[in-house]
Structure 1
Amino acid sequence: MCPLLSFDDDCFNLKHFLDTQDSLWDLIGPYYRNDSSGFVPYHLRDINNPPAHLDDKQKSNWIRTAQKMQKNYQNQQQYPAFYLPTSFYEIIYVNKFTTTETMQKLIDHVRYCLEFTFDTEGERSNNQLALIQIQTIPQQLPCFVVLLELLHLSSYDTLIFVKIKQLFQLIFQSKDKLYSWGSLRRELYPAVNYELWEWPITSQIFDVQLDFSEWYKWALFHCKVYGSLLLQHNVINYVRSNTNINSSSTCTCHEANPYRSGEKWGLQDALVYTCQLFIDKSMTISYWAKGLDPHHSTLSITTREKMLRYAIYDCFTTTYLARPVLSTWTFQKVKNTNVIDLFQASSSSSASPSLSSLPHENNIIINTNINPQI
């Protein structure tokens, strides 16, 4: 959750300007002026011609941000949006205004869940952890999407705070599975001082991003060559040991890995390349401290709705990809699976070999005894 833009306070009087923008979308859109038409849309920025008053570091940040926004716009034009019917989920805002009845409803729901997807967002003004998103994966939909607004919590001695701690006691049991895109411990560690849960977390943590590249290589290779032999151990071991496989020559329905060796996939790219669906990443750098609860947020309605969609769909996308990646599904199986099945807990664990169950140095099950010092 690192800021993409960095400006000195005295640079072209930008501090006031930045403080008035709700999101990266607001910033990059009107930032670069065109004499003939007023403002240049973010996706039409000339990345080779950043504003002259910026220093080298600022220009580099400006160019990188413009590139990200151009890519976001291009993907938006090319692919349909990833969408879940609102009947599939219920959003729960957890802050000092949450009622005890709502918290008890959430706790009762979580008691029967063993799988959860996590994400976090950092406040744009200071990069402080501001929002924790938790999506439940129940036996039957609807799931709950919990939006924990850390900067708007009640005091320690309130019943609501006690209920929140009770919620995390249920979620962070050793039998539970937690999914994330990126290191969950690294993202949650800044919240330890809130005393909402015991540290270290003892649940099983699966970083889907960590294994995505290997799975994608496996799926590309298998897609054309191995047909009905996809789940044999020797196939999986061969793909992992053969680093010279030219993935682009083995599959015609999916594009080759665009990343260099060792690079981690972005969540948007992972969804686009796997199933040709789009999630909007333009709200990544936003003022999350202003809150998403519609009854108490100080954001404009339009901005709040964009940020809300971004926050919940980052969780949804990780959930959508988790089972295919961790259970070594083929592209065809992903395509033929009803989306409902990916958002409900599986009735039985698969006996098929998977990339995550085989030993390798980047095993996604992180040692829960490690106490990270970040």
Structure 2
Amino acid sequence: DLNARQQRNWRNATRKIEKNEKLRAQYPAFEPSSDINIIHIHYKSNLDTLNELIVKAQQTKRYTLDTEGAKNKKHEKGALIQIQFIHSINYSTIIIIETNYLPDRHTILYEKIKELWSTIFSNYNEIITWGPIEDEFKEFLHLDFNHIGKNIEDTDLQSLFRSWYNEQQKTHPEMEKRDDDGTDDDEELDSTTYDDATVWSLQKAIEVIFKKFLDKSLTVNWWQCGLDLKLNTWKNQLFSRHNYDERKEKQERFKMVQYAINDCTSVAELYFHMYPGKSDDQQTPQVRPATTRTITLKTPAITSTNITNILEDKLSDISEDEVIELLKPKFNKKEDAPHQSNYEQGELIITTTEQEMNEFDSNEQQLQQQSSTTQTTTTTVSKSERQRRKNMKLKWKQQNRPDFQNKLKRPIYYKYDFRKTRAQLRDDNIHTSHQITINRKYNEVIIGFKSRQELEHAK
């Protein structure tokens, strides 16, 4: 039998799930409208990535911030810090700091993380949060680099949204009112009043302003599990219910990453909706880190058959210590920091042989001889030349290499872009390191495979 506290938690969890699923059925899912580069930060990050991020931070003046706490925690220690570098209204970088997997404090890598942090929280940069910024860091006081200082402009968009919305109601009375169903007493999910005391949830604000569904079903989750696949925590059984399921372990982490990203990008999009004039004062940095990825995932609907399982999870007595002991990194084992992409599936990777590189050496030498012009001109020319060479190599491979002749055509939904197409291919268990080409005229995708065997397997 459940005690009184557990019964109360059960009722609250049930009400929140039902409300969440009602919104899921009513509105299209919120998805970021801008291009997002995702970079995980932990003990396997490499110094080049951190150096590139520091340069980006020096060129960025506006950020959004969110955090996630550990599930069933015994100690008040958070698990995740997400920071969105807003370079422009169309392009952002999001770093996900996995605080349970940071490097040893005496390493150069850790010092670089501290330098990145101090660069972000300085120079009167604007830090946008949904709620007071101090609340975001209550569970991260154990981090020695967690110092935000006073030389930042902290913007509590939740507080500003309340007065902004009330003003919009006065000047634009035709705006749709919020739900008038007075049966839900959970103010965080569905407040029925609009006065200056109203506490707006982020989910409700996205619903009212954008008519979109911001999923909040993962608020309580194993955020300390190690989300980046490079951490290899997916090799342990955590999300698989009975027997270990590699696909399940990876998929749950992908969903959690997308969830964490949406909590940042939704705040940014609300900010620019409220203050459209701010969208023109951003600067796109010149450096794009090599170890980045962009993901788009559809969160599966929660049906009545598995609501009970979710509620049981919320009442679980498993401790944080047990999870961290299972998943935490072992620092007494040296591991080389990989320099490859974080994304282990479905990534476009075009390799180049030494022979192919030699075919273009003469072009490179000619380019170097022309470097007597200004530095800006040289940078521009070299970038365009690199792209031209890459295109030539790809074209040559497609025409001459046998492993570029294995192609498969499949129909796709006409609204799918490259990210959604790759996500669909992953769902269909089709993984390729070669190029995919979308034919808009015929609503089909052409998929390249390295071998005939891979092609036959995908059919």
SS of 1:295's equivalent?
Answer: helix
**What is the letter of the counterpart of residue 144 of structure 2?**
E
CA distance in 2 between counterparts of 1:295 and 1:265 reads 37
> Structure 1 residues 252, 107: CA separation in 2 closer, same or farther (over 3 Å shift)?
closer
How far apart are residue 153 of structure 1 and its match?
0.4
Matched, 1:321 2:270: yes
> Structure 1 residues 269, 125: CA separation in 2 closer, same or farther (over 3 Å shift)?
same
**What is the letter of the counterpart of residue 174 of structure 2?**
C
Partner of 1:83: 31
How far apart are residue 93 of structure 1 and its match?
0.3
CA contact (8 A) 1:192 1:199 kept: no
**What is the letter of the counterpart of residue 112 of structure 1?**
Q
Structure 2 counterpart of 1:122, from 69, 82, 88: 69
Partner of 2:221: 286
How far apart are residue 281 of structure 1 and its match?
0.8
**What is the letter of the counterpart of residue 23 of structure 2?**
N
Structure 1 counterpart of 2:13, from 65, 80, 103: 65
> Structure 1 residues 289, 88: CA separation in 2 closer, same or farther (over 3 Å shift)?
same
How far apart are residue 54 of structure 1 and its match?
1.6
Partner of 1:251: 174
**What is the letter of the counterpart of residue 81 of structure 2?**
I
Partner of 2:111: 162
Partner of 1:179: 128
> Structure 1 residues 295, 83: CA separation in 2 closer, same or farther (over 3 Å shift)?
same
**What is the letter of the counterpart of residue 108 of structure 1?**
V
CA distance in 1 between counterparts of 2:175 and 2:123 reads 42
**What is the letter of the counterpart of residue 284 of structure 1?**
T
SS of 1:113's equivalent?
Answer: coil
Structure 1 counterpart of 2:160, from 204, 208, 211: 211
| 1:280-321 per-position Cα deviation (integer Å, ceiling 9, x unaligned) | 111110111111112215341121111111100000011111
CA contact (8 A) 1:89 1:143 kept: yes
How far apart are residue 77 of structure 1 and its match?
0.8
Partner of 1:35: none
Structure 2 counterpart of 1:312, from 257, 261, 286: 261
Structure 1 counterpart of 2:50, from 70, 92, 103: 103
CA contact (8 A) 1:115 1:345 kept: no
| TM-score relative to the length of structure 2 | 0.52
**What is the letter of the counterpart of residue 227 of structure 2?**
L
Matched, 1:152 2:101: yes
Matches within 5 A, 1:316-355: 316-325=265-274, 327=275, 345-346=281-282
CA distance in 2 between counterparts of 1:193 and 1:59 reads 33
Matches within 5 A, 1:39-58: 53-58=1-6
**How well do the aligned residues superpose, as a CA RMSD in angstroms?**
2.3
CA contact (8 A) 1:268 1:281 kept: yes
**What is the letter of the counterpart of residue 214 of structure 2?**
I
CA contact (8 A) 2:86 2:282 kept: no
**What is the letter of the counterpart of residue 56 of structure 1?**
A
Rg comparison, structure with higher value: 2
> Structure 1 residues 318, 88: CA separation in 2 closer, same or farther (over 3 Å shift)?
same
CA distance in 2 between counterparts of 1:323 and 1:147 reads 22
CA distance in 1 between counterparts of 2:175 and 2:84 reads 34
> Structure 1 residues 221, 185: CA separation in 2 closer, same or farther (over 3 Å shift)?
same
Gaps of 5+ in 2: 181-190, 235-248, 284-459
Partner of 2:231: 296
How far apart are residue 255 of structure 1 and its match?
3.4
CA contact (8 A) 2:77 2:140 kept: no
> Structure 1 residues 201, 285: CA separation in 2 closer, same or farther (over 3 Å shift)?
farther
> Structure 1 residues 297, 124: CA separation in 2 closer, same or farther (over 3 Å shift)?
farther
**What is the letter of the counterpart of residue 220 of structure 1?**
Q
SS of 2:214's equivalent?
Answer: coil
CA distance in 1 between counterparts of 2:146 and 2:56 reads 19
CA distance in 1 between counterparts of 2:24 and 2:271 reads 23
Percent of aligned pairs with the same amino acid: 27
CA distance in 2 between counterparts of 1:67 and 1:313 reads 22
Partner of 1:263: 198
SS of 2:272's equivalent?
Answer: helix
SS of 1:307's equivalent?
Answer: helix
SS of 2:141's equivalent?
Answer: helix
CA distance in 1 between counterparts of 2:57 and 2:11 reads 44
> Structure 1 residues 119, 345: CA separation in 2 closer, same or farther (over 3 Å shift)?
farther
CA distance in 2 between counterparts of 1:252 and 1:195 reads 46
Q: How many residues align?
A: 255
Matches within 5 A, 1:126-137: 126=73, 128-137=77-86
| 1:149-196 per-position Cα deviation (integer Å, ceiling 9, x unaligned) | 111101111111111111111111142000001121222243233211
**What is the letter of the counterpart of residue 135 of structure 2?**
R
How far apart are residue 346 of structure 1 and its match?
4.6
